[in-house]
Chain A
Amino acid sequence: MKTSSLRYLIKEGARNIWSNRIMSFTSMGVLTTCLLLVGAAYLITVNVNSMVRYVEDQNEMSVFLAEGIEKAEVSSIQKQISNLRNVVKVDYISKEEGLENMKESFGEDAYLIDDLKDRNPIPETFVVKVEDISLTARTKSDLEAIPGIEDVRASSAVADTMTRLQQIVGTFGSAIILALGIISLVIISNTIRATIFTRRKEINIMKFVGATNSFIRIPFVVEGFLLGLFSASIAFLIIWGSYHYLVDSLKTGASAFLNEVFQSIIPFDELALSLGVFFGITGTVLGMFGSLISMRKHIKV
């Protein structure tokens, strides 16, 4: 095919968008909406995962040892703890360090506990970091079973909530993405089928002047591609704007703890590339496939 012909066909595709602007507008509206919903589901999933990871990172358990344990025994307990599944890190804090830490947290009032030096009440402690917070309860009982450990403290309430949130978002998120993907394909191919139905005469004329099928297809494919690209760009801009707005308003109204958690919200810049590529590919592929699927019937003359 000559390049002048190819140029003509691409120009035709672009021109068709304007000539059939009502249908083009409808298709773009549908495609943009679907991309927006899928994009929102993706962003929510990604952020909840990131928040859970943040909470997980904070998720430490304090393991207090019984009074009067030998040095050798301490290191054996440490070994036992680090051998447990789900444990990623074990830090030892001696009685003295514990007291120092406490003094530090007292600040100016540290003199109040100065005379505790001789009869230090702080037990020897391990700070244990777990990998999966959904297993916190089990790890806790595992720890308690080790002889020499007197008490284990874990903030399992936060862990439970976050885990449940993650599961719900994960399930619903993927269900929504899947359902919307199917719905948008159906709607798009129906919209394009309606467009093509009104243009079957045009296709028929092309056939009778001896146009090959690929020649007839190219403008429609170009049209689908461009519509997909436009829709993807619009959806991207809308998502960009609302994400900034939403994150800002979340951060201003939140409590101190939530604000800390919200620090783990992923900045849009980090997601922009993957989201843009995803929108671009999904939009154009859906647009082109919609075109091809719906014109299949009319091309057989």
Chain B
Amino acid sequence: MNFVIDLNHVSMKYDKKNIALHDVNIHVGAGEFVFIVGASGAGKSSIIKLLLREKTASAGIVSVNGVNVGRLKQRQIPYYRRKLGVVFQDFRLIPNMTVFDNVAFSLRVTDTSNKFIRNRVPYILNLMGLEHKAKSYPHEISGGEQQRVALARALVNDPPILIADEPTGNIDPELSFEIVELLQGINQCGTTVLMVTHEQEMVKSFGGRIITIDRGTVVFDDTVQPDGRMEVLR
């Protein structure tokens, strides 16, 4: 089977003492929805850093969309990142740009024509239920709305993979479910979704494929029924 995200015996260390990941194997097929769960410091953000090519693995191979990420040359990195949609816990919107411009931003970066931007951005904002907020600035809208703007920005390029790094971390619990449901909806349209979170209870209530990371290794990787029991791998 071809995996869109494929970590083979991946280790990563910041220095000799701080080993972030040890012999991690994660294989995600096209169209899957995967939760990566773990306490803070377990190694979740290291996985994100590897996938975004912010850091490189000290051993093993990280491959995304068939690209060996560790082998990318410096000038190829921007083009590689355009195939990934990313949302972060802190939204990372540009404060002095309107919602429209924030979303249009990732299209402008890829040298897209104004005509396409004028059609595509309202369409995506509409999907996210944000059409009436297009002219607002990030500080004028709620946390949940800001995260939806970030999602719109991640999806506007139509990337095959969406990576969500603690997308619900800064949002009220009731809105968190809304965000995850939105992610599942996106997944149903064919996008592979990888959601990293420490909120184990919420993940369990949704079910699906869950990968648990603890102290730099994978301790659980299986499909779980909603509200089902999770047994740690041995």
**Are A and B co-members of a single complex?**
yes
Question: What is the distance, in angstroms, from A197's C-beta to the closest C-beta of chain B?
Answer: 15
* CB neighbours of A8 from chain B (8 A): 108
Could you give, for residues 110-142 of chain B, a 1 whenever the CB lies within 8 Å of some chain A CB and a 0 otherwise?
Answer: 110110000000000000000000000000000
B153, A209: Cβ atoms closer than 8 Å: yes
* CB neighbours of A138 from chain B (8 A): none
A1 proximal to B (CB < 8 A)? yes
* CB neighbours of A1 from chain B (8 A): 111
Pick from B81, B93, B109 the residue with the most CB of A within 10 Å: B109
B78, A210: Cβ atoms closer than 8 Å: yes
A210, B108: Cβ atoms closer than 8 Å: no
Q: What residue of chain A has the Cβ atom nearest to residue B115's Cβ? A: A4
Q: What residue of chain A has the Cβ atom nearest to residue B113's Cβ? A: A4
A244 proximal to B (CB < 8 A)? no
A209, B106: Cβ atoms closer than 8 Å: yes
A4, B110: Cβ atoms closer than 8 Å: no
Given A1-B111, A209-B106, A209-B109: A202 touches B94 (CB 8 Å cut-off): yes
A208, B111: Cβ atoms closer than 8 Å: no
Given A209-B81, A215-B109, A301-B54: A4 touches B114 (CB 8 Å cut-off): yes
A2 proximal to B (CB < 8 A)? yes
* CB neighbours of A19 from chain B (8 A): 96
- A2 to B108, alpha carbons, bound, how many Å? 10
A256 proximal to B (CB < 8 A)? no
A2, B109: Cβ atoms closer than 8 Å: no
- List residues 17-62 of chain B with CB under 8 A from any CB of chain A: 52, 54
A208, B52: Cβ atoms closer than 8 Å: yes
B105, A209: Cβ atoms closer than 8 Å: yes
- A206 to B52, alpha carbons, bound, how many Å? 13
**Band of interface residues on A:** 20 to 34
* CB neighbours of B96 from chain A (8 A): 19
- List residues 21-57 of chain A with CB under 8 A from any CB of chain B: none
Could you give, for residues 74-116 of chain B, a 1 whenever the CB lies within 8 Å of some chain A CB and a 0 otherwise?
Answer: 0100111110001000001110100000000110111101100
* CB neighbours of A205 from chain B (8 A): 92-94, 105
Partner of B109, one of A4, A202, A211: A211
* CB neighbours of A206 from chain B (8 A): 105, 109
* CB neighbours of A208 from chain B (8 A): 52, 81, 86, 92
Q: What residue of chain A has the Cβ atom nearest to residue B86's Cβ? A: A208
Q: What residue of chain A has the Cβ atom nearest to residue B94's Cβ? A: A202
Question: What is the distance, in angstroms, from A74's C-beta to the closest C-beta of chain B?
Answer: 83
* CB neighbours of B78 from chain A (8 A): 207, 210-213, 215
A79 proximal to B (CB < 8 A)? no
* CB neighbours of A207 from chain B (8 A): 78, 81
* CB neighbours of B92 from chain A (8 A): 201, 204-205, 208
A5 proximal to B (CB < 8 A)? yes
- Identify the 10 closest CB pairs spanning chains A and B, nearest first: A210-B82, A209-B106, A210-B81, A211-B109, A212-B78, A210-B78, A19-B96, A4-B114, A205-B92, A5-B111
In the complex, 11 of the A-B residue pairs with CB atoms within 8 angstroms, ordered by the A residue number, are A204-B92, A205-B94, A208-B86, A209-B105, A209-B153, A210-B81, A210-B82, A210-B106, A210-B109, A211-B78, A215-B78
Residues of A in contact with B (beta carbons under 8 Å apart): 1-2, 4-5, 8, 19, 201-202, 204-213, 215, 301
Given A1-B111, A208-B92; 12 other pairs, CB 8 A cutoff: A2-B113, A4-B113, A205-B93, A206-B105, A207-B81, A209-B81, A209-B106, A209-B153, A210-B81, A210-B110, A212-B78, A215-B78
